[in-house]
Structure 1
Amino acid sequence: MASIHSSVARANSSIPSAFAVYNSSFLDILGHAPKLDLLVENNDYPFAHEASVYIPTSDELFMSSNMFTDPTTNKTTIKVSKVSLSKHPLTAEIVNTTIPMPNGGINHDNGIVWTAQGDMNDKGGLFQMSAAPPYNSTLLLSTFHGRQFNSLNDVAVSDDGSIWFTDPEYGWHQGIRPKPKLPNQVYRFDPATKDVRVVADGFGRPNGIAFSPDQKVVYITDTAETVGDGTKDNSLPAAIYAFDVTIAHGQPFLTNRRFFAMPGEGIPDGIKVDTDGNVYAGCGDGVNVWSPGGVLLGKVLVKDGASNFSFGLDGRMFILNENKLYAAQLNRRVQGTLVKSRK
């Protein structure tokens, strides 16, 4: 299959090969001069795996690594790294934190909320970390009414201040967490009241989570196809589901669960939404983009795929590729819902 398709390809032969157009609407997202650049490469450890949190005030990007064996301690670990995008040359600087096995993260309260998977000795949970040295962190939530979470994965923040997060059982299959004490579920935590409750179940492995621009829809990925023990099962979900946010008795509930999209390659891991409502997910061949109606618009192609990514300012997208960090330049008007561009 050609990377750019049929009549769209013939009319737009000048589009770089790193971008695959499946629907003409993607051309407006790309703009007149799209490009994909390698920013940082570090083959010592897989520094660019999850989170990808852009801090506009400092022009810095935070990310969590994949698991690797620390050569000093000989223990399995995950490190948080920071790339200062205004400095040259660009490097991934390790940020020392006390967060046990951090994974997903999001902008929150002038810093970052991290989902910590935990390990055999430390419970996981939600942590608030400062985005400035010395990067102090505070535990916000560690259990569901006394029951340890499995291995928190990704997180979204609602306009009402509540924190929504996914909790698959990957940590157990990877040998870093005890046997699960909870199903594979999605939760809502209200920092003001300390209330925590389940908002969705029925997943194989709930993973990425994001709100639509108007906060009326929540998108959640199920990555059960990747079992977690190094194997895959193609009969299990690799899908994005959409839910309506319904208010009942003063509380939000997720209703009208529906299948939204499935990538052609790999699983939809991290997920983000732009201010036009288009849905982006890190997949096996890069970042895939769907319309709000679930139509595949196009892809930013990255060899070996992307687990996660984030939007910066002025149409810039940062893509995590394990040992490599890329930047895609899209139309300067493209904005993610988490970080608004300069006027």
Structure 2
Amino acid sequence: MASVTNADITVVPTKVEIIDRLAEANGKLKAFAAPKDQVSILQYQSTFGDLLGPSPTHSLLLSTEGTSHNPFFHEACVFLPKYDEVYITSNLLQSTSSSTFPTILISRVKLHRGEKDNVHKVEWAKMRPPPGIDMPNGGVNYEDGILFCAQGTSASGTGGIYYMPRTAPPKAMVTNFHGRDFNSVNDVVVSKDGCIWFTDPWYGHEQDFRSRPKLPNQVYRFDPKTGDIRVVADGFGRCNGLCFDFGETVCYITDTDQIHGDGTKDLMRPATIYAYDIITRAGAPFLANRRVFAYAAVGFPDGIKCDLQGNVYSGCGDGVEVWNPAGTLIGRIMVPGGVANFCFGKDGEMFLCAEQKLWRLQMTRTTKGALLGI
């Protein structure tokens, strides 16, 4: 597919609104009117101001509004620092063929930087997923490429975790649980010992491109050195995003049961982040002491990341909500239309996926993601 270049990128100061928590709790705070066409920020604690720095900025890198309206900027959002590229998976796109099934594309966004490392130009290439990576969703850095979650198709034997090197064909890592197809693998992270942790909710079947589930909504750990695979967490409505803190002492998992794949919503269902302690028993890691860490202020928590200080960020209905390690909401990055997933880039930058728009936010340069530590 032909690439698109955007060299008309403007860096804009980001408005920061200091929120009086007591006034908000008592219903006496005037509602904040978030700009409909810009990123803005609500600051609940001074510690969030330290992460932002004195003059945060943002820029709109790409938009399909007014053209195709397609939601190309939805999930994965994986930054490859060596190549200064971001890889993003789309939401469901209507197929242009006679098939009634939707499709998902992968976007590669090449960044070109100028003064203060601001991105002044991007080259956007839309790519069809390579064979095996059917209906890709989440992703994470792995060796010289990316681990992608393949949700699979209606055919048995499809779906799982695939490694896509940057310049070689993809390689299947794990495609089943002892012969049973996964449901529709959603998000993935790699621990420091090289093991692959991933979530597997029922969304694919609910969206009519996957067969009837054969497993509960569960979280798995796969060891690519030995082939060992085991369930590490269950009891979710719809497990979705997951991440570790920098020291890998805590694992955070989001439950997006508030919305199902057929579009139905129920405010009585979880929109929750659960925290687990990572403990060792018999020489193996286990998730213990499950507890509610946070409940989304708006919508439901999807993609999730930690920074080096242990703060937790999650894409929600209002943008990206941020909590300190104690579960206190310290700030909200308000993005029109909300954010499904995002990632940290270099030195305090974040890339925010907002379906039809891809934004870049620049915070203070010392704010860095735990995943890459850059």
| TM-score over 0.5 for the pair | yes
Give the 5 Å matches for 1:51-200.
51-72=76-97, 74=99, 75-86=101-112, 89-96=121-128, 97-98=130-131, 99-121=133-155, 123-132=158-167, 136-200=169-233
- Distance apart, 1:6 and its partner CA: 2.5
Offset, 1:90: 2.1
2:246 and 2:371 in contact (8 A); partners too = no
Matches within 5 A, 1:222-241: 222-241=255-274
The 8 Å contact of residues 60 and 83 in structure 1, kept in 2 or not, is answered as yes
Q: CA deviation at 1:8?
A: 11
Q: CA RMSD in A?
A: 1.9
Question: Is 1:207–1:220's contact at 8 Å kept on the other side of the alignment?
Answer: yes
Which stretch of the first structure deviates more once superposed, 43-52 or 110-119? Answer: 43-52
Deviations 1:195-219 (A, max 9, x none): 0000000000000000011001100
Which residue number corresponds to residue 18 of structure 1?
40
Q: Percent of counterpart pairs with the same letter?
A: 48
How far, CA to CA, are the matches of 2:290 and 2:230 in structure 1? Answer: 18
CA contact 2:111–2:121 (8 Å) conserved in 1: no
Query: Please, what TM-score do these two structures have when normalized by structure 2?
Result: 0.85
1:249, 1:72 → 2: CA distance? 53
The whole-number CA distance in structure 2 between the counterparts of 1:70 and 1:340 is: 38
Could you tell me how far 1:100 is from its partner in structure 2? 0.2
Q: 1:164 to 1:171 in 2, by over 3 A?
A: same
Q: What is the aligned counterpart of 2:55 among 28, 33, 43? A: 33
Structure 2 vs 1, CA of residues 182 and 106 (structure 1 numbering), >3 Å: closer, same or farther?
same
Distance 1:163 1:275 in 2: 21
Deviation at 1:247, TM superposition (A): 0.6
- Residue 10 of structure 2 corresponds to none
**Secondary structure, aligned partner of 1:29:** helix
Q: Distance in 2 between matches of 1:32 and 1:255?
A: 39
Letter in 1 for 2:18: I
Aligned letter for 1:125?
Answer: G
User: Which of 316, 322, 336 matches 1:303?
Assistant: 336
User: What is the CA-CA distance between 1:7 and the residue it aligns to?
Assistant: 8.6
CA distance in 2 between partners of 1:171 and 1:36 (Å): 34
Map residues 319-334 of structure 1 onto 2, 5 A cutoff. Answer: 319-334=352-367
- Kindly state the Cα deviation for residue 72 of structure 1 after the two structures are TM-superposed: 4.4
The match for 1:13 is none
Q: 1:73 to 1:28 in 2, by over 3 A?
A: farther
SS in structure 1 at match of 2:122: coil
How much has 1:228 moved relative to structure 2?
Answer: 1.4
Q: 1:5 aligns with which of 19, 43, 63?
A: 19
Q: CA deviation at 1:150?
A: 0.4
Deviations 1:31-57 (A, max 9, x none): 011122111112422110001000001
Unaligned runs of 5+ in 1: 10-15
What is residue 8 of structure 2 aligned with on the other side? none
Q: Distance in 2 between matches of 1:215 and 1:273?
A: 11
